[in-house]
Amino acid sequence: MLATYQVVDFLTLNVGVANTADTSGAINARSPRAESKKAYLASVAITAPESTGVLAGSALYLGILHGDSSFGSETEDHLYAGATIATPVEGLRLGASFDYVDDPVVGGKDGYAAGLYASFKATDKLGLHLRAEYAKDAGLVAYAGPGAANPSKVGAVTATVQYDLWENVISRLEARWDHSLSGSGVYGGGGHKNDYLLAANLIYKF
């Protein structure tokens, strides 16, 4: 359940409540927690008005989520900050994001991920996108796939070429490079520090 309130033209507030998980990962389970146990979330969005010139339309997002950890009986917190930034260059937008998780169950460890984004609309149909990411593991997330050891730190770069073929139809070519920064090889069965992906997508938007 989510409630949204437009305070003024440039400021929006959101608050919400959602089902949470138990130690088995079951959503809203009766045991070992009460079914009434919930997760709570809140966020704020600030949009730059027209009076800010070339920055008009830029936005800052801040959010927090508090709920039970599916790894134990304690609660955990997720914090998020993100921004989209307009530029003087026509068609070019920049972005950044930061996610942080504080989970006291897994040895009191915390984890975070940061990303930088660039998007350039070359024509009405052609878009070019670049994304760079860095993440530090909290012991909760598998970067290398099921059954593989996790690198404690990982970086990734993704480049995307997107073309709108027809109305509601998108074609996309994407190349991604993942790199273990923890000094251990975890990809390809555990012997490699690098992993590469080349993907082609054809998407229909309903």
Confidence tier at 157 by pLDDT (50, 70, 90) = very high
Q: Quote the Cα angle for 13-14-16, to 5°.
A: 155
Whole-prediction pTM: 0.77
> Each residue of 3-49: pLDDT tens digit?
999 999 999 999 999 877 655 555 555 445 556 678 899 999 999 99
- pLDDT tens column, 60-91: 999 999 887 655 556 778 899 999 999 999 99
> Which token pair is 165?
């073929």
How many Cα atoms sit within 13 Å of 105 on the Cβ side?
Answer: 16
Most confident of 113-122, 136-145, 173-182: 113-122
Which DSSP state fits 148? S
What is the per-residue pLDDT for 187? Answer: 77
Tokens read off for 13: 């507030």
Question: Phi-psi bin for 151: left (phi > 0), alpha (psi -120 to 50), beta?
Answer: beta
pLDDT recorded at residue 33: 56
Per-residue pLDDT at 35: 62
Q: Which of 99, 118, 121, 119 is nearest to 110 (CA)?
A: 99
| Better-scored residue on pLDDT, 203 or 109 | 203
Q: Are 10 and 49 in contact (CB under 8 A)?
A: yes
Q: Determine the average pLDDT of the residues in 153-171.
A: 92
Cα dist from 110 to 38, 79, 102, 188, whole Å: 22, 11, 5, 27
